[in-house]
Amino acid sequence: MLDFSSPMHLILIILVIVLLFGGKKIPELMKGIGQGMKEFKKASQLDDEPAKKEPETKDIEIKASDKK
């Protein structure tokens, strides 16, 4: 198991990331990750809203009584 308790480990990981992706690509990657997280949070909140709303039974009852 990896132990990241040492600051040297974190510096080494950051250095490898900079070497792999380059300094210019990292802000673009972080922006994309942030937008993805924002969209995911928005979609998950939209899914919860219909479950919280109560169905409107008044309209259904009026329509049912009109047909009699």
pLDDT digits (tens, 9 = 90+) for 4-41: 678 888 889 888 888 888 878 888 888 999 999 999 99
Position 39 scores a pLDDT of: 92
Position 66 scores a pLDDT of: 55
Position 26 scores a pLDDT of: 81
Position 45 scores a pLDDT of: 83
pTM score, whole prediction: 0.43
Whole-angstrom distance, CA of residue 41 vs CA of residue 34: 11
Sketch the domain layout of the chain as residue ranges: 26-50
More confident call, 1 vs 22: 22
Length of the chain: 68
| Burial (CB count within 10 angstroms: exposed 0-12, middle 13-18, buried 19+), residue 26 | middle
Position 44 scores a pLDDT of: 84
Query: 2: Cβ–Cβ under 8 A, 6 or more apart, which residues?
Result: 9
